[in-house]
Amino acid sequence: MSDEQPQEGVVDPPESTPVDAIKELYNKALATYRSKHGKEIAKAHRVKGEDDENAEPNPPEEHDPSLTYAETTLEPMQAIMCDVQQTVTIAPGGTCFVDIGSGAGIAVLAAAACQQFKKAVGVECVPGLVAKSNELKDGSDFLDIRLCSVAEAEQGERSADDEAVTADNPASDDVQEDPALPAKPSTPLVLFWLSTCFNENSVQEKALQIAKITPEHTVLVLVTHFLRTENANVWSLEAETKVQFEWGLGTVFIYRNIMVKSSPAAESPE
């Protein structure tokens, strides 16, 4: 993963933005894009195996033809984020989103349209896909609508405060959480991994590595692969669901990082 390049962040509008407006902006950003574009770029890179356009093609046995390029659009991402929020709390403006093997960045745009992440980024190693993702990102207007909506939200909060004072009825007393339900942990990071382009052993190995470098309660949304027993002590399976993607029905596993990490102070001798 050393050659992977970060994509630019995309900031999502807050929940107060109308759903129809979000979908319109998302569709506008992808107006000229089709999934076949990303597939063609990925296929060309896999065949040559190098960034050099004059490179000799790889022998067929050096790559697995069953591994396919796939994308996650707005509708399935909305369903996935609803399931994630049943498990953890996504802090508006505080939780980050990272797509592992993000391709043309479609899932990053979709996630940014679903939640108000602090930052939404993708990690991709194919230069052509990175270029395409940055091109699509530049065509989005999520930041503009976010600024507009934040201003409207602040005005609405001031009006609500004035009304509460006049009525002498604090609204905070009206809403209480069910004490019988366990409190959901707040997650600092949501990792999304549609792993159709990764073989089984690679997924298991990288999942262990990811657990070691991510904070506690990090969420790993893994599509199509189930983590084996060697990952059970670091990734807790919180949910399993079926989601309809454009490419077909996929199984989504939602994990939470439960790895206990020792602090430097605890590890050092007295």
CATH number for the domain harbouring residue 204: 3.40.50.150
List the domain range (segments joined by +) for residue 72: 5-144+187-265
Domain contains 179: no
Give the count of beta carbons closer than 10 Å to the beta carbon of residue 49: 14
Domain contains 251: yes
- Check whether 88 has a pLDDT greater than 50: yes
Q: Which pair of tokens denotes residue 127?
A: 């230069």
Domain contains 154: no
Q: Residue 241 phi/psi, 5° resolution? A: -145, 160
**Which of these, 250, 187, 185, lies nearest to 219 by C-alpha position?**
187
Domain contains 172: no
Domain contains 16: yes
Task: Give residue-wise pLDDT tens across range 183-207.
Answer: 889 999 999 999 887 888 889 999 9
Domain contains 200: yes
Q: Is the dihedral of CA 115, 10, 25, 40 positive or negative?
A: negative
Burial class of 122 by CB neighbour count within 10 A (0 to 12, 13 to 18, 19+): buried
Residue that is written with structure tokens 């994308």 in the block? 71
For the ranges 151-165, 173-187, 251-265, which has the lowest average pLDDT?
151-165
Task: Give residue-wise pLDDT tens across range 108-140.
Answer: 999 988 888 999 999 988 888 888 888 887 766
Spatial distance between the Cα atoms of 215 and 66, rounded to a whole number of angstroms:
33
β-pairing, 89-90 vs 219-223, is unpaired
Task: Indicate whether this model's pTM tops 0.75.
Answer: no
Domain contains 163: no
Spatial distance between the Cα atoms of 175 and 15, rounded to a whole number of angstroms:
19
Give the helix ranges, DSSP H, for the chain.
19-29, 35-48, 74-85, 106-114, 127-138, 142-167, 200-213, 264-267
CA distances from 96 to 70, 196, 263 (A): 22, 23, 23
β-pairing, 248-257 vs 89-90, is unpaired
- Check whether 8 has a pLDDT greater than 60: no
Domain contains 153: no
| Count of domains forming the chain | 1
**Which of these, 115, 150, 163, 162, lies nearest to 12 by C-alpha position?**
115
Give the highest mean pLDDT range of 58-72, 125-139, 144-158: 125-139
